Amino acid sequence: MAQTPQDLKIAILGAGMGGLTCALALAKEGFKHIDVYENAHDLGFVGAGIQLAPNMARVLDRLGVWKPIEAEAVNITSTSVRVGASDSELAHVPLEYIHDTYGYPHMVGHRSSLAGHLYQGCLQHPDQIRFHFATTASDTTFGPKSSFTATPRDHPEQAYRVEADVLLACDGIKSQSRVAMLDLLGIKAGVKDTHQAAYRIMIHKDQIKDDPELLELMNGNRVTRWIGEKRHIIAYPVSNNTIYNLSTTQPDTHFAAATNATYTTRGDKSVMLGVFGDFCPMVQRMLNYVPEGEVCEWKLRVHEPLPTWVHETVALVGDACHPTLPHLAQGAAQAIEDGGVIGAVLSKLPDTTPASIHKALKVYEKVRKDRAYAIVELAAASGRALHLGEGAAKEERDRQFAALRQGKGPVPDKWADADVQKELYGVDATKIALEQFDELFASV
C-alpha cells in the first residue's frame, strides 16, 4: 500500500479538458505517479472557439495556467441577442460588471489555446505526469485496485494491463468506463438524442478584409446570438480578434439513421446555407466564407443523469458523466471544475486505504453532481426558449426581451441573465470541496 496519498498510483483515461485538469491539479498537490492515457496520437486540437467563463478561469488561475490563456483570448464586454431573419436587436446586455463581481472577466478563446496551455502546465511536472498517447483503454475492472487494458494503437499486439489505486475516467461522452460501470451496477441509463446538430465555423480575418461590416464584428468585444425557430447562431472573435468563431444549432436531419457511435459527418455547404436561408444577408455572407469541403456537422447528444459517478476506486469525470448542450457555454468549464475538485479531495485523504479513496471520490460526487446536472438542465431549457416558433410562448419570450430593453426582468437567453450568471460564476467548487471535506467525508 502507498505510504502517503501522494504515493498513490493514479491513472487518467483521456487527455481532454477534464483529464488535463485532473493531472495538473494532482501534480500541484504533490502526487508523484500520474499516468494519462489518450487515444489520439497527440493533442493537436484544431477545435473551434470556446467561452472562458470566470468559474473556469478561477480553477485555471489556481493551477498557474490562466495568464497565458488570457493573453491569447478576447475580453467580452457585451452580448447582443438578435432576430435571425432581420438582424434587429432583441436585447443588449453589458458584461463589464462580471470582472468586478466574480474576479475574472468573461473571455472567449480558441480551444487549442486552452488545451495547449493546460498541457504545457502538465509538462512542467515531468517527474509526476507521464502521457501515453495513441493508447486505447478497455476492459475496465473495479475494485480496491482498479485496472484496464492499455493497447498501443500502432502496436496492438503489445497490449498490457494497468493497475491503479485511483482510476479517473475522463474519456468523454463515449466513455467505455461508464458503460462498464453501469453494466456492473445494473443501471439502465443511455445517451439521449437531443434531435439537434451543430456546425462550427472559423472565419479568418484575411477572408473578410474587404467586408467592413464583418470586420467590425471581428474587431469588437461582443458575443452575438442570432435566433430563429428551432435554430440559432452564436458568434464571437477569438485569438486576439484574428478569427471569428460561429457555432450553430439546428434540427438534426443527417444523423437520424446513424448509430449512437456517430457524432460527426461531412456537411454540404449548400445544405448549411439552406438551413439558415431565411436569416439576414450578413449571416448569409458569413456562412458563405466557409470553403467548400470544410463544412462539418456535429451531433449534439447528452446522457441520462446517472445515480452515481463513483464505484470502488473509479470516478467518472466531465462528459463521461454530465455532457451538456452548448447553450450555457459550460461544458469545458464543468469538466475543469471536476478536475479542480478531484485534486482537492484526493489531497485531503486521511490515509491510502481503498475505503478512504472511495469516500474521497464520493465527496467529489457530492460537491459536483447536483450542480452539474442543474446546469445541464438549464442549458437545455435555454435552448428551448431560444428556438421557439410562432405562438404564445414566443410572444411571452419576446415580451421579456422588450422588458429587458427597459431594464426590467430576466433574460430569456439564460447565458446572459445575471441571476443565472451568479449561479454559474459565483460558485467556487474547489473551495467548497476543501472547506467541507471533513464533514462530507464523514457523511459518505
For the ranges 88-92, 153-157, 160-164, 211-215, which has the lowest average pLDDT? 88-92
Residue 213 clears pLDDT 50, i.e. is over it = yes
Q: Read out DSSP for 129-140? A: EEEE-SEEEEEE
* Mean pLDDT score of the chain: 91
For the ranges 26-35, 160-169, 277-286, 290-299, which has the lowest average pLDDT? 290-299
Gap between the Cα atoms of 149 and 439, Å rounded: 36
Collapsing DSSP states into helix, strand and coil, what is residue 389?
Answer: coil
Q: What is the pLDDT of residue 256?
A: 46
Cell of 121: 502546465
Q: How many residues appear in the chain?
A: 444
Q: Which residue has the higher pLDDT, 148 or 194?
A: 148
pLDDT in tens, 66-107: 999 999 999 999 999 999 999 999 888 899 999 999 999 999
Q: Read out DSSP for 193-208? A: EEEEEEEEEEEEGGGG
Cα atoms found within 13 Å of the Cα of residue 229, Cβ hemisphere only:
8
pLDDT in tens, 5-36: 999 999 999 999 999 999 999 999 999 999 99
Residue 403 clears pLDDT 80, i.e. is over it = no
Q: Which residue has the higher pLDDT, 353 or 392?
A: 353
Q: What is the pLDDT of residue 8?
A: 98
The whole-angstrom distance between residue 105's C-alpha and the CA centroid of its chain comes to 18
Residues 189 and 182: beta-carbon distance below 8 Å = yes
Residues 245 and 52: beta-carbon distance below 8 Å = no
pLDDT bin (cut points 50, 70, 90) of residue 408 is low
List all residues 6 or more positions away from 355 whose beta carbon is below 8 Å from its beta carbon: none
For the ranges 39-48, 221-230, 328-337, which has the lowest average pLDDT? 39-48
Other beta carbons within 10 Å of 10: 25
pLDDT in tens, 354-398: 999 999 999 999 999 999 999 999 998 887 766 656 676 666 666
Residues 237 and 108: beta-carbon distance below 8 Å = yes
Sheet (strand 135-141) strand order: 135-141, 146-152, 160-164
Gap between the Cα atoms of 114 and 333, Å rounded: 11
- Stretch 321-350: mean pLDDT, rounded? 96
Highest mean pLDDT among 232-241, 249-258, 389-398, 399-408: 232-241
Q: What is the pLDDT of residue 257?
A: 46
Q: What angle do CA 359, 28, 321 make, to 5 degrees?
A: 45
Sign of CA dihedral 369, 374, 376, 377: positive
Q: Sketch out the chain's domains with CATH numbers.
A: 5-73+107-190+304-386+417-443 (3.50.50.60), 192-302 (3.30.9.30)
